[in-house]
């Protein structure tokens, strides 16, 4: 009745009849399934991209080498015992017969062959940030070189946060490098020998000065280096990190070069790249990069080394290489 009344007021007519649909308009299973799969793929790709952007650290030696395009000097495998009990590595010669020891031998060999026409006499070891293992590598490399017959002087030139003396029970840090540069004492009075390492000598950092970079850049430091080079085959300097401090650069400019340690899963890529860019505009020779804390394939060689070394003898021979005796329990610096 209402429709008929409305047509009399405003005349209208039916153009076509309304037909009920023969198929449901919604939902459409196939279409909805395809849309769901596509949305899931987009979400997955987005998650991966976001994870990559949020986690900008190096995870493998290959990634580090490809991204930095610097001379790659070696890889140091991750060893969980270094985080808890470094002294345990020396028991029964296990440190000698391991891939960890071989990694340092390989690193030393690469340094020796880096410049065949020039004997490497001195180098600075540093990293972009603290905690990447530069101090550990400085000490172990010094031990390897000494075990190979070189007369080695390891100098703790980290006058901001010295740590080498904490590794060795036989070494004290009452006075050291800072006191020698300041003229308070002679280096021959403060250089300490390591009882278990015939060819290894240590000069600790000493008292923390107000101007570390100034001391390392001084003429006295250059004079000391020239003096030590007449007595030692190799001088290794452990220094503060490169990012934010000029200490390592001042010292490296006086030596044969700088070895940069990069801890995997530690420092973000932009920080490493910024440090490398800074080094490119300096007069420093960047010897190369070492990847530290490599997990996975490197430790897998340990069984091979143990079998190789121990085949044919009942007990491992530790008379030549007593690597880790006296090391204190502590984390990498």
Strand runs labelled E in the chain? 72-77, 122-127, 152-156, 192-194, 197-203, 234-238, 258-263, 286-294
User: Do both 275 and 146 map to the same domain?
Assistant: yes
156 Rama sector, left if φ>0, alpha if ψ -120 to 50, beta otherwise: beta
Helix (H) or strand (E) segment spanning residue 167: helix 164-167
**Residue 11 pLDDT:** 63
Q: Which residues pair with 75 in a beta bridge?
A: 291
Of 159, 151, 150, 194, which is closest to residue 179 (Cα–Cα)?
A: 159
* CATH code of residue 248: 3.40.50.300
pLDDT for 237 beyond 70? yes
**Residue 35 pLDDT:** 72
State how far the Cα of 195 lies from the Cα of 188, in Å rounded to an integer: 17
In a domain? residue 41: yes
Report the percentage of the chain scoring pLDDT > 90.
Answer: 59
Helices (H), 12-80: 29-54, 61-68
- pTM value? 0.75
Mean pLDDT estimate for the chain? 81
Helix (H) or strand (E) segment spanning residue 277: helix 269-280
User: Do both 208 and 143 map to the same domain?
Assistant: yes
User: Do both 155 and 245 map to the same domain?
Assistant: yes
In a domain? residue 290: yes
**Residue 245 pLDDT:** 96
pLDDT for 39 beyond 90? no
User: Do both 36 and 183 map to the same domain?
Assistant: no
- Mean pLDDT of the region 213-227: 97
- Mean pLDDT of the region 167-189: 94
Domain housing 66: 61-310
Going across the sheet that includes 122-127, the strands are: 72-77, 286-294, 258-263, 122-127, 234-238, 152-156, 197-203, 192-194
Cβ neighbours around 245 below 10 Å, total = 16
What is the tally of structural domains in the chain?
A: 2
State how far the Cα of 257 lies from the Cα of 253, in Å rounded to an integer: 7
User: Do both 36 and 167 map to the same domain?
Assistant: no
pLDDT for 320 beyond 50? no
User: Do both 228 and 200 map to the same domain?
Assistant: yes
In a domain? residue 36: yes
- Give every CB contact of residue 293 below 8 A, 6+ residues apart in sequence: 76, 77, 78, 133, 263, 264, 265, 266
pLDDT for 168 beyond 60? yes
User: Do both 66 and 42 map to the same domain?
Assistant: no
User: Do both 38 and 141 map to the same domain?
Assistant: no
User: Do both 194 and 77 map to the same domain?
Assistant: yes
User: Do both 281 and 175 map to the same domain?
Assistant: yes
pLDDT for 155 beyond 60? yes
In a domain? residue 78: yes
User: Do both 66 and 50 map to the same domain?
Assistant: no
**Residue 18 pLDDT:** 64
User: Do both 33 and 138 map to the same domain?
Assistant: no
In a domain? residue 216: yes
**Residue 137 pLDDT:** 96
- Give every CB contact of residue 124 below 8 A, 6+ residues apart in sequence: 157, 237, 239, 248, 251, 252, 255, 257, 258, 259
**Residue 87 pLDDT:** 39
Confidence of residue 55 (pLDDT cuts 50, 70, 90): confident
In a domain? residue 16: no
In a domain? residue 8: no
The pLDDT tens digits for 182-204 are 999 999 999 999 988 889 999 99
The pLDDT tens digits for 239-252 are 999 999 999 999 99
In a domain? residue 17: no
Helix (H) or strand (E) segment spanning residue 214: helix 212-216
Per DSSP, 161 falls in state S
């Amino acid at each position: 009745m209402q429709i008929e009344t409305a047509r009399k007021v405003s005349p209208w007519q039916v153009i076509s009849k309304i037909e009920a649909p023969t198929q449901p308009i919604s939902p459409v299973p196939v279409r909805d399934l395809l849309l769901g799969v596509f949305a899931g793929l987009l979400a997955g790709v987005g998650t991966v991209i976001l994870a990559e952007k949020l986690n900008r650290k190096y995870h493998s030696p290959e990634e580090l080498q490809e991204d930095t395009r610097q001379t790659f000097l070696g890889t140091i495998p991750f060893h969980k015992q270094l985080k808890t009990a470094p002294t345990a590595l020396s028991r029964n010669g296990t440190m000698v017969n391991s891939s960890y020891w071989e990694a340092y031998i390989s690193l030393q060999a690469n340094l020796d062959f880096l410049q065949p026409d020039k004997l490497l006499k001195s180098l600075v070891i540093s990293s972009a940030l603290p905690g990447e293992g530069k101090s550990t590598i400085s000490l172990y490399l010094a031990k390897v070189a000494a075990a190979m017959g070189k007369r080695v002087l390891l100098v703790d030139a980290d006058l901001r946060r010295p740590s080498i003396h904490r590794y060795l029970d036989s070494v004290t840090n009452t006075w050291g490098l800072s006191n020698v540069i300041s003229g308070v004492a002679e280096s021959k009075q403060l250089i300490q020998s390591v009882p278990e390492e015939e060819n290894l000598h240590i000069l600790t950092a000493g008292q923390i000065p107000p101007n570390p970079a100034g001391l390392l850049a001084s003429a006295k430091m250059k004079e000391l280096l020239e003096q030590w080079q007449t007595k030692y085959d190799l001088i290794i300097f452990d220094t503060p990190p490169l990012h934010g401090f000029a200490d390592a650069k001042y010292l490296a400019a006086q030596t044969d070069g700088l070895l940069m340690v990069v801890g995997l899963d530690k420092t973000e890529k932009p920080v490493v790249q910024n440090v490398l860019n800074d080094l490119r505009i300096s007069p420093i020779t960047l010897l190369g990069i070492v990847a530290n804390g490599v997990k996975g394939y490197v430790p897998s060689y340990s069984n091979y080394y143990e079998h190789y070394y121990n085949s044919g003898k009942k007990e491992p021979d530790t008379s030549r290489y007593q690597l880790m005796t006296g090391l204190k329990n502590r984390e990498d610096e």
